[in-house]
A and B are shown apart, each in its own frame.
Chain A
Amino acid sequence: FMEPRPPTPSSLPSKLTVNFVLPYAAELSKAEVDMVIVPATTGQMGILPGHVPTIAELKPGLLSVHEGNDVKKYFISSGFAFVHSNSYADILAVEAVPLDRIDPAQVQKGLSEFTQKLNSASTDLDKAEAQIGVDVHSALNSALTG
């Protein structure tokens, strides 16, 4: 049933083929684009055709897909990005939303709530959960304002 992996071309392809999938839907399936910028844990990573094969863990942040002059932005909650030698990029995210679906008031509320929780947290687990809350909401905030 599975298609064999498309072969690695001998010369650099001009487009990157992106499969951007979520657990419940495929946002992009074999879309040919110029570049994607993913929010890796090591920072924003740009992926162009001919990128070295990479596995990157993603942190909550902005994912942008660049095709010609169009840029589509999504906020992803977390996931992984795999770049293969044949210029295919597989991006797997648990939640990905276009920026206009995010409620800024909720983001601010969440940010102040979790900053408070972080200050009053006692156990390691509470601190970790509060820290995750702060990270996610700050990332949402910068995505909306940036």
Chain B
Amino acid sequence: MASTAAVPFWRSAGMTYITYSNICANLVRNCLKEPYKSEAISREKVHFSVTKWADGKPQKPTIRSDTPED
């Protein structure tokens, strides 16, 4: 029996729900008036480091950030 559940357009284009939700949230934030817009954008800034592992050893970490490195 094939599952015929209707798939949302973003899912059929290969996007996950979380990507869709984050895009919607970013669009709404961009449509805010100041000062709420700058508050919202600064609130959502992220800064993190990702380390991939291979053969039980950590590789070089990459830092992903919204704040410019000075």
- Residues in A lying within 8 Å of B, measured CB to CB: 24, 41, 60, 75, 77-79, 94-95, 97, 101-103, 106-107, 110, 124-125, 127-129, 131-133, 136-137, 140
CB–CB A101/B24 < 8 A: no
- Residues in B lying within 8 Å of A, measured CB to CB: 8-10, 12-15, 20-25, 27-33, 36-37, 40, 43
CB–CB A128/B30 < 8 A: no
Cβ distance B58 to chain A, nearest Cβ, rounded Å: 30
Residue of A nearest to B32 (CB): A101
What chain A residues lie within 8 Å of B10 (beta carbons)? 128, 131-132
Known: A77-B27, A110-B30. 9 other contacts (CB 8 A): A78-B20, A78-B25, A95-B24, A95-B25, A103-B31, A128-B10, A128-B14, A129-B23, A136-B27
A103's partner among B14, B20, B21, B33 (CB-CB below 8 A) is B33
CB–CB B28/A75 < 8 A: yes
Quick one: which of B8, B27, B32 has the most chain A CB within 10 A? Answer: B27
Give A110 to B31 CA distance when docked, in angstroms. Answer: 8
CB–CB B13/A128 < 8 A: yes
Residue of B nearest to A124 (CB): B13
CB–CB A128/B40 < 8 A: no
A77's partner among B8, B12, B14, B24 (CB-CB below 8 A) is B24
What chain B residues lie within 8 Å of A101 (beta carbons)? 32-33, 36
CB–CB A94/B24 < 8 A: yes
A97's partner among B9, B14, B15, B32 (CB-CB below 8 A) is B32
Cβ distance B11 to chain A, nearest Cβ, rounded Å: 9
What chain B residues lie within 8 Å of A140 (beta carbons)? 28, 31
CB–CB B43/A127 < 8 A: no
CB–CB A77/B13 < 8 A: no
What chain B residues lie within 8 Å of A24 (beta carbons)? 43
CB–CB A97/B28 < 8 A: yes
CB–CB A132/B27 < 8 A: yes
Give A131 to B11 CA distance when docked, in angstroms. Answer: 12
